[in-house]
Structure 1
Amino acid sequence: FIYAHSWVKQRHALIRILRSEVHMSTEERGGSGPDPGAGVTIGATVPTGFEPTAAEEVGEKIGAEARIGKDRGRIYFRIGADKLPLVHRLRSVDNLFVVVAEYNNYQFKESKEETLLDLQKLASQLPWTIALEVWKMNNALKKKRGRRRGGNSSVLTPKGDVSKEGDTEADSPRPEDEEGRDEDGGGCAPAERDAADKPLKFRVTCNRAGDKHSFTSNDAARDFGGAVQEFFQWKADMTKFDIEVLLNIHNQELVVGIALTEESLHRRNITHFGPTTLRSTLAYGMLRLCRPQISDVIVDPMCGTGAIPVEGAIEWQQSFFIAGDNNDMAVNRTVNNTNHILKRRQEGGSSAPGLRMDTARWDLCRLPLRASSVDIIVTDMPFGKRMGSRKKNWDLYPSCLREMARVCRPATGKAVLLTQDKKCFAKALSRMGGLWRRSHTVWVNVGGLHAAVYVLKRTGWVHGAAAEDGAEGRGEGEEEELL
């Protein structure tokens, strides 16, 4: 009893010390926090390998300069509060969070106990106020319907003040695609206002990478979360939480943030899933690599559930997309996913035109398309894992590459192909007789598999022969493309 009483006194003393340090500047701690005058820093997780593509989209749609994080799959950019709605229009990001503070060279102690004690102290030293305000603004942008979690609208600030009622809704937003997005905001429901005095429910999620840490992710989340709970007097709840605090650690980099998305944004379009459904964010990244232009004809010859053409038809409305597959179930899934988008538009009262997209059932090696009639080919090729087999790929890949070359426009056509069977693909490409030239390769992680996105350019050669006059004089060993 005496030992327990002494431990409680020491704990309360530590809490008083932590709260007395809350006014320490972030610069004194070696970190950087949001500055109200310069806006806030937003972090986003993206498919690994597509960080430059996502950064390019941020600059194009928001006008902000994004930097790629040291940890793969993350980008960061600063925005003003007025541009928060634009953030949810990004198509290449999976999850969004507002950065509370960032430490590029955090000094972790060698002892596990000392490190965890430092993380406990850190909880009260962070500039939470601005990030919590952004979190409240973000909640006001979410759709009123489709709420998945309950909660209340009170936000307890580090000073102990409760924010005004009706400023926010309890859940994180569920941003939909641009056809179904409701950005009118709105106040809280009566039930939320009645629960205004209840503390928020929260959880801490720790993502850690690096082998020189003396602690585990669970250790960090537990101790940091306990300090956050003591500081804000929030209630911990691992499932039905109102707010999610993120603790991202990569070697010596430490980033504390607050989640702005309830679930990954890659689930935005697909309702009828297949055995190998491609993430919408990955589909968008692949499409962006080929830079579609007005009036381009874009084909996905192995469409599966239609993730690529559906995503493309929504974003690039001045191009025309053709989806096809040799499997009846895959074609039906693509049609159902397309109909779902159109139905959601209609229910939302949108005046947007229908999708410029068509779906067909065909044989990949005998496409019912005229020669040189397609501008871009984008597809997810069978890995030989869940679909097809590695053995069949040795016959399939050369046949489909040759047929793609036939329908693709010489000298200007492009192909963006995703596969995990890299050895088979490289061999098949070498047997094309100069029909395709590999521009570059993007290495990605697809469901834990190390895969590659190959960006190919169609050469001026037609099945090994030159497509332009004067090419007959080339040497037999030369396969220089006529571009």
Structure 2
Amino acid sequence: MSSQEDESAGGGSEPAEPSSSPSTEIGTTSGDIITVTIGATVPTGFEHTAAEEIKEKIGVDARISKDRGRVFFPITTDKLFQVHLLRSVDNLFVVVEEYHHYQFKESKEETLMELQQLASTLPWTNALEVWKQNGTLKKKKGHRRGGNTAKSKPNCEGVGGSMASTEQQELPQENSAPEGWAGDTQAMETSTQDSDETGHGSKLIKFRVTCNRAGDKHSFSSNEAARDFGGAVQEFFQWKADMTKFDIEVLLNIHNEEVVIGIALTEESLHRRNISHFGPTTLRSTLCYGMLRLCKPQASDIILDPMCGTGAIPLEGAIEFNHSFYVAGDNNDMAVNRTVNNICHIQKRRADKGSMSGLPIDTVQWDLCSLPIRTSSVDIIITDMPFGKRMGSRKKNWDLYPSCLREMARVCRPGSGKAVLLTQDKKCFSKAISRMGGLWRKQHTVWVNVGGLHAGVYLLKRTGAVFGQTPEDVYESRGAVHMQGEEKDDKELS
């Protein structure tokens, strides 16, 4: 294996030179203000949105990783609480060390031996101090069943709070806890009271290592890397390995030649913040936030979600962009009930905290293709359209998409109105939008990963054409008459 200078390993047993970072340069004692690098996982495709929010709210520049769905930014510990207020990030971790060009050994045995040796040479001090300070920011909670494996780079976007398969268009990726270690591989919150204590009365730290690996040129698996690196961490710190009731989760993220070691700061993904009643296709709140920022809501805007599902999009908007008014609707009564329950849950939570509980949102059950809304009265339409997999069908989408795009054009303000639409049925959507040239103009597309599916978030601009005076309307009316004629003929034949 050829050697490279600076950030790569040579032919010996020394690992690659780490990238310089504040965590390796600044010493600390408990209570000191230090600067560290924070890593954040975000919905794939919305990395730039996350970087914009970080710059806007924290005032620092974020670096977007080569590995999709991850950003890094510096922060001082006196501002640590601010990172938990970000709306675009799923999970947070403090970086122990980064290697941009780690030169892995040819054989699996040599590579795993090097990972074992690496554990005792890392600058753990600042990261552990940040983990300790982060613990004081969080409300103490008891054990919770279930868990979240996406504390580091998730290999997919969650739908309905669950994890799906690896991204189809991405590099092969694995996510695993140490092989052969007892316990469930799902991460779980733990209360500090349940941790073991030593004979001297000091708290015995429980930990686990989670490895996320992407790339097809590694001689080892995620299980093997997590097992051997975790064993070395245990030996170095004399911590106790515990797969379910751990205090610290050490992250070993490997993407081709990029290696990042970190310590998780979130016990549960931040994307679950708004939803208490999940449906079959509930969107991540972080993805909803990215979609909302894409359309730049303004004060007094009327924002419509005609296929609201569990209300994830309007709820996120009503909380974060609360100077606009949101109308959420669906044709499914169960979906409308879930939305109402989620709104009530947020209102109760806000009331319990002593803040204003009201939300600028209303909920209606309706027919998507015949909305009870005045023509040209809506500023923004933002919705998750049926993919034809968990909801609806691909066949039905060929009729549904043109009909709903036309009805959306009717209620949207000509010239200034916008639509942000999410769908994985790209072929059907492209065909439908091509028939809407007089009503909609496609301005931008963000490619995202939703539950392991490659989907698009489409930003559309409403043209200045008056609804009812475009070729699309004439085409539709003729098509409708033709369809009615066919149905009549079918009835006569039956």
TM-score scaled by structure 2? Answer: 0.79
Change (3 A) 1:297 1:36: farther
Change (3 A) 1:119 1:294: same
Q: Tell me, yes or no, if structure 1 residue 32 matches structure 2 residue 20.
A: yes
Residue of 47, 51, 54 corresponding to 1:55: 51
**Deviation of residue 82 (structure 1)?**
1.0
- Partners of 2:289 and 2:18 lie apart in 1 by 37
Instruction: Specify the SS of the correspondent of 2:370.
Output: coil
Match of 1:325, as an amino acid?
Answer: D
Instruction: Specify the SS of the correspondent of 2:363.
Output: strand
Instruction: Specify the SS of the correspondent of 2:120.
Output: helix
Residue of 121, 137, 141 corresponding to 2:137: 141
- Partners of 1:405 and 1:252 lie apart in 2 by 48
**Deviation of residue 199 (structure 1)?**
1.9
- Partners of 1:296 and 1:435 lie apart in 2 by 20
Change (3 A) 1:226 1:400: same
Larger mean Cα displacement after TM superposition, 54-63 or 33-42: 33-42
Residue of 83, 87, 93 corresponding to 1:87: 83
- Write the mapping of 1:162-177 to structure 2, written as runs, cut at 5 A: none
Match of 2:63, as an amino acid?
Answer: R
- Partners of 1:261 and 1:269 lie apart in 2 by 16
What residue in structure 1 maps to residue 404 of structure 2? 400
What residue in structure 1 maps to residue 119 of structure 2? 123
Q: Tell me, yes or no, if structure 1 residue 221 matches structure 2 residue 226.
A: yes
Match of 2:307, as an amino acid?
Answer: M
Match of 2:26, as an amino acid?
Answer: P
Change (3 A) 1:462 1:143: same
Match of 1:392, as an amino acid?
Answer: K
Match of 1:341, as an amino acid?
Answer: I
Change (3 A) 1:381 1:338: same
**Is contact 1:303-1:323 (8 Å) kept?**
yes
> Can you list the C-alpha shifts for 1:4-58, whole angstroms capped at 9, x where unaligned?
xxxxxxxxxxxxxxxxxxxxxx999333341438710000111111111111111
- Partners of 2:346 and 2:222 lie apart in 1 by 39
What residue in structure 2 maps to residue 313 of structure 1? 318
**Deviation of residue 83 (structure 1)?**
1.0
> Can you list the C-alpha shifts for 1:136-155, whole angstroms capped at 9, x where unaligned?
01000001346649xxxxxx
Q: Tell me, yes or no, if structure 1 residue 327 matches structure 2 residue 332.
A: yes
- Partners of 2:96 and 2:18 lie apart in 1 by 14
- Partners of 2:126 and 2:330 lie apart in 1 by 50
Residue of 381, 386, 398 corresponding to 2:385: 381
- Partners of 2:345 and 2:427 lie apart in 1 by 38
- Write the mapping of 1:256-267 to structure 2, written as runs, cut at 5 A: 256-267=261-272
Aligned length: 405
What residue in structure 1 maps to residue 214 of structure 2? 209
What residue in structure 2 maps to residue 43 of structure 1? 39
Residue of 261, 275, 278 corresponding to 2:280: 275
**Deviation of residue 193 (structure 1)?**
11
Change (3 A) 1:191 1:273: closer
The percent identity for this pair of structures is 75
- Partners of 1:192 and 1:230 lie apart in 2 by 18
Q: Tell me, yes or no, if structure 1 residue 443 matches structure 2 residue 443.
A: no
> Can you list the C-alpha shifts for 1:103-127, whole angstroms capped at 9, x where unaligned?
1011111111111111111101110
**Is contact 2:40-2:91 (8 Å) kept?**
yes
- Partners of 1:29 and 1:369 lie apart in 2 by 62
Match of 1:260, as an amino acid?
Answer: L
Match of 1:130, as an amino acid?
Answer: N
**Is contact 2:412-2:418 (8 Å) kept?**
yes
- Partners of 1:450 and 1:44 lie apart in 2 by 21
Q: Tell me, yes or no, if structure 1 residue 114 matches structure 2 residue 110.
A: yes
Residue of 72, 93, 103 corresponding to 2:99: 103
Instruction: Specify the SS of the correspondent of 2:72.
Output: strand
Q: Tell me, yes or no, if structure 1 residue 426 matches structure 2 residue 426.
A: no
Gaps of 5+ in 1: 1-25, 150-171, 175-187, 467-483
**Is contact 2:188-2:244 (8 Å) kept?**
no
What residue in structure 2 maps to residue 480 of structure 1? none
> Can you list the C-alpha shifts for 1:133-182, whole angstroms capped at 9, x where unaligned?
00001000001346649xxxxxxxxxxxxxxxxxxxxxx998xxxxxxxx
Change (3 A) 1:391 1:191: closer
- Partners of 1:383 and 1:27 lie apart in 2 by 46
Instruction: Specify the SS of the correspondent of 1:354.
Output: coil
What residue in structure 1 maps to residue 72 of structure 2? 76
- Partners of 1:192 and 1:273 lie apart in 2 by 32
- Partners of 1:132 and 1:173 lie apart in 2 by 20
Residue of 260, 273, 295 corresponding to 1:255: 260
- Partners of 1:297 and 1:446 lie apart in 2 by 27
- Partners of 1:127 and 1:420 lie apart in 2 by 43
**Is contact 1:138-1:173 (8 Å) kept?**
no
What residue in structure 2 maps to residue 152 of structure 1? none
**Deviation of residue 189 (structure 1)?**
8.1
- Partners of 1:384 and 1:264 lie apart in 2 by 27
**Is contact 2:96-2:124 (8 Å) kept?**
yes
- Partners of 1:124 and 1:373 lie apart in 2 by 63
- Partners of 1:428 and 1:143 lie apart in 2 by 49
Q: Tell me, yes or no, if structure 1 residue 347 matches structure 2 residue 347.
A: no
**Deviation of residue 194 (structure 1)?**
7.1
Instruction: Specify the SS of the correspondent of 1:55.
Output: helix
**Deviation of residue 433 (structure 1)?**
3.4
What residue in structure 2 maps to residue 301 of structure 1? 306
TM-score scaled by structure 1? Answer: 0.80
Q: Tell me, yes or no, if structure 1 residue 410 matches structure 2 residue 414.
A: yes
Instruction: Specify the SS of the correspondent of 1:415.
Output: strand
Change (3 A) 1:464 1:109: farther
